[in-house]
Amino acid sequence: MRVGDLSASEITQRLASGRFRLRTGPFTYAVRTNIAPLPAVIPQLYRDFPLAEEDALVDFPVNLVQPSGVRGWLLREVDFLLGGHFHFEPFQRRLALPYFEWGLNWCISQHAHQYLLLHAASLERHGRGLLIAGHSGAGKSTLAAALTLAGWRLLSDEFAMVDAAGELAALARPISLKNESIELVRARANGNYLGPASHSPRKGQIAHLQPPRESVERVGERAQPGWLVMLHYQPGSKLALAPLSKAQTMMHVAFHSFNYGLLGSDGFSRLVQLIDQSVCLRLTYSDLDEAVGLFNGDDFKRP
């Protein structure tokens, strides 16, 4: 059964009672909330995702709750709990959807150590994986969204998850977009739901793009590493693609890993294998259409 097979009232009831078992990639979340607008938006963003049985084993029991008293009713605050424990500062109710998505990502980054977790967007085409890494503001999620809408299969806009065999696992969760990228992607959405924008004091406007149904349905398929691209957005720049040494790539990706140090020698071995199997490149760009055209061109056919 998929989320979209339930009626609006059934979804609301399951969310309110904690019986909403969302399966996303290798993980199952038990979600409990009645905080608006989540019961209305989650069914849109996750329409094509499978629901686990109500007695299924749960990886992450997640609650978004309104506290009692002044914090809840006057300050309109919300708490995020994992397994009944607080892990974040409270946040405003208007930011419930971004914090829900950040919270689900946090669960993975802190607990899914069966994978080497890299902070990179990851996609697949013809069985080969594309990892897009870069500093904050480089446009990883924006480019991942545009490539997904142009035919690449989304693995994740937040993680590259490398398993013990050196393959890339998939999540296919909604893609987080910020500020100007929201309208850039909206023009390409082609019927894929783009959720309401929320304003965060730190991040600005934030909205989430529903992943294509094919990406969700193929979430169990692994990808072999193919390319690892260090992305650099520079306003007004010409499109420039250049080789990057494997040593430079290793240093950058290790620094931006969530758990490379924690995994010790196993993390080192997985990262070395990933980089050995990948064509390592640096891309400087300013125009999203040009970048999409590059990735759909001859340079990014099967390596």
Q: Give the mean model confidence (pLDDT) for residues 74-82.
A: 84
Residue ranges of the domains in the chain? 3-111, 116-300
Q: Distances in Å between the alpha carbon of 2 and those of 11, 16, 47, 220?
A: 11, 18, 7, 15
**High-pLDDT (> 90) share of the chain, %:** 77
pLDDT at 303: 60
**Of the listed ranges 196-205, 206-215, 245-254, the one predicted with least confidence:** 196-205
Model confidence at 161, pLDDT cuts 50, 70, 90, reads: very high
Looking at per-residue pLDDT, the higher value among 10 and 299 belongs to: 10
Tokens of 85: 């424990």
How far apart, in whole angstroms, are the C-alpha atoms of residue 153 and residue 150? Answer: 9
pLDDT tens, position by position, 18-66: 999 999 999 999 999 989 889 999 999 999 999 999 888 999 999 998 8
Q: Distances in Å between the alpha carbon of 198 and those of 202, 208, 244?
A: 12, 10, 37
Quote the distance between the C-alpha of residue 300 and its chain's center. 22
